[in-house]
Amino acid sequence: MTSGPKAVFTVSMALDKRIKRHIWAKEHRFLVTQAPQLLAVCGGEMQREGFLLQEETAQGIYFTGRIEDAYRAHLMLRSASRIWLCLERFKAGAREELFRRAAALPWELLLNPRIPLDISARVRHSRLEHEGDTAGTLMAAIQRRFSEAGGNSPKEKGAGDESPSQRLRVIVENNRVELRIDLSGEHLHKRGYRLRQGAAPLRETLAAGIILWALEIRREIHPEAAWPERIHDPFCGSGTIPIEAEMLLRGIGPGAEREFLFMQQPHFRAAAFGHLKKKAAQPSGQPPACRVGGSDSSPEMLEIARQNCAAAGLEIGFEYADALGASLERIFTSGTLIICNPPYGERLAEGGVLLFRRIFARIQETGCSGVVILPRSLEAKLPHDGFTRKLSFTNGGIPVSAVYLD
């Protein structure tokens, strides 16, 4: 997989002692954000990974733990979009109070002074009314703190600046303030293995979430088998669904081969992270007896899928085949879970409705289970027999649904 340049951040011994006392020795509150439709899916995988969940909100899922728990969350969570460190909440009904409380926080232990700050605010039902002024007040407080600590403050990110930044969010509701520091950097769907892609690909986090969602439903319907005999994508494109399924099957952490923003912040400890990363990159025990594969009728896309698979360090059988042709009859069986994102749109007859009808019929006639992603505009034109669950979201700006067929 590809990765950015290695981050180098040195700290003084005195600062290191303060980081150990105030960051590494303390319990913290973190927020995991994800696509709203994947809230339950993400919560389920967080519980399975042993994270201490605190509450689920419209903003995401809060959990508590040490800073190394946030490192592990970045390495192991598959459906998460971003992870934030939430600082201690406090009351502030005026700019002066916000400034005073924020300036007292140890920003020099949390932020890299060489990376610009991207600060935004959301204010609801509070005496602090102007979101721009609220963000500006936080920036001024951070500058004051760095100045008093004897160091240079991070600069504010300018308009139009596309360079990496440290995101801070100020949430003010009913005069209660929550400050969040982004630990992730680039969105967590950027695993690093997708070197090339086709048209309208699924984000890796969304693909992983749909796989987890599908497996959970299948286990409810078929409790005798924890895993299907096979997971197959007959419209595999650049290979995202099979790659995410294979990583899940083997227990390999999706973030094991990429870098994160926290690696450039002063609290980062390379040795501790390196130990967690080594564990995340290795298969966790003997994988279940399930085969993962993909097929496509485009030789170009198959080559892209194979390149992406190699970049992920995996071996998956990708084959040239018509999704509904006779050559895949051995795939469409009662032990198979089909997960696919077929093509749709103006280039297909009736926007693809005929193709989707054939896919539905193939899944139901052969007795396999299947998740098919389709544009919501076609739902009314398709048979609903066999629909057991539906997950709606947008992909590439198009409203779509993942429907489970059994």
Query: Is pLDDT of 8 > 60?
Result: no
Contact criterion met (CB below 8 Å) for 344 and 352: yes
Share of the chain above pLDDT 90, in %: 82
Mean pLDDT of 367-391: 88
Q: Name the pTM for this structure.
A: 0.93
Q: CA torsion, points 36, 183, 6, 206, in degrees to nearest 10?
A: -10
| Arithmetic mean of pLDDT over the chain | 92
Q: Given a cut of 90, is residue 190 above it in pLDDT?
A: yes
Binned at pLDDT 50, 70 and 90, residue 4 comes out as very low
Structure letter (DSSP) for residue 279: H
Phi then psi dihedrals of residue 179, to 5 deg: -110, 130
**pLDDT-based confidence at 139, cuts 50/70/90?**
very high
Q: Which of 66-75, 158-167, 216-225 has the highest mean pLDDT?
A: 66-75
Burial of 176 (0-12, 13-18, 19+ CB in 10 A): middle
Pick the more confident residue, 335 or 6: 335
What are the angstrom distances between the C-alpha of 258 and each of 112, 167, 211, 284?
19, 19, 22, 19
